[in-house]
Amino acid sequence: MDTPLTTLLVLGSKPEPALPPPGEVDAVACANASGRSAAAHRLPTPTFTVMSAILTAGQPAGRQSVAQLAGLQTKTLFFLPRPTPKGGAAKRALRRVRGWRTSPAWFRVSLRRAGYRWEHFEVRPLEAYHALVRRLCNDDPAVAQEIARKQPSTGLFAVALGVSDARFARVIVAGMSFELTHAYGENPEIAERGTAVSKHADTDVLVLGRLARHSGRLFTTEKIVADRAGVPLLEAAKDGGAPCRS
């Protein structure tokens, strides 16, 4: 009989993640190319991975992430659509013309070509992800307002999916820093924007705090996440962590 799952590790892409001690994790979830960090730390195949359609839009940061997916896999791959384009008519029209690059069909082809594999591919409307976060935060008006201003990061949606999964009594966030840094190389977006701060940082900080408060099941081994978002801090492994329980 299979051992029941109790703890999910949601792993982001930040360098040198503070992983939980050996044997405290039953399953792993990833965001975008953080599967490369999971593989580097000898963690098992992710139970699920959330990836943004922006990865195949043709931008340098996306191309870097897709290249890092070679040889990796996940059990379920959640496709996160891009938001409705904002700005002037010309900008919106250009986004529509280039929309094929971020379509589920092209996304699948691009990742297959990169050598990435999955068992299940799930497409949900973007609003379904937003609604999930709002529901998990008890429809907090401040959360709804912040999401309307700037949606959460891909990693935050991975956290929300984990918290919503009844198989997990505890969700631990690691490898998250509210910055654009990657464990697998210098993110080109940092040079382009002139800052390492993520545009999603304020939204993520607010939502993580609310998720921790309302669920009672969200924890972190990253001090910055505890300090900024108020997520309860767990002690990280002194040796960098080890694979999950078998």
Nearest to 169 by CA among 2, 3, 4, 1: 4
117-123 and 170-174 beta bridge pairing: unpaired
pTM here is: 0.91
pLDDT at 197: 86
Q: Are 210 and 137 in contact (CB under 8 A)?
A: yes
- 239 domain-assigned: no
Task: Please check the confidence at residue 225 and state whether its pLDDT lies above 50.
Answer: yes
- 103 domain-assigned: yes
> What DSSP designation does 8 have?
E
**In terms of residue numbers, what domain contains 109?**
7-229
Q: Are 80 and 62 in contact (CB under 8 A)?
A: no
Question: What is the rounded CA–CA span in Å between residue 49 and residue 201?
Answer: 20
- Burial class, 144, CB count within 10 angstroms (exposed 0-12 / middle 13-18 / buried 19+): middle
- 32 domain-assigned: yes
CATH number of the domain bearing residue 92: 3.90.1480
Question: What is the rounded CA–CA span in Å between residue 35 and residue 41?
Answer: 10
Average pLDDT, the chain: 91
Share of the chain above pLDDT 90, in %: 77
- 236 domain-assigned: no
Least confident of 49-58, 94-103, 231-240: 94-103
What total number of domains does the chain contain? Answer: 1
- 37 domain-assigned: yes
Q: Are 217 and 168 in contact (CB under 8 A)?
A: yes
- 132 domain-assigned: yes
Q: What is the mean pLDDT of residues 149-171?
A: 97
Nearest to 32 by CA among 3, 15, 53, 18: 53
Least confident of 7-16, 22-31, 70-79, 86-95: 86-95
- 168 domain-assigned: yes
* Max CA pair span of the chain: 58
- 246 domain-assigned: no
**Reduced to 3 DSSP states, what percent helix, strand and coil does the chain have, rounded to the nearest 5?**
40, 15, 40
Question: What is the rounded CA–CA span in Å between residue 5 and residue 49?
Answer: 17
pLDDT class for 1, splitting at 50, 70, 90?
very low
Can you name the residues that pair with 170 across neighbouring β-strands? 7
What residue type is assigned to position 199 of the chain?
A: K
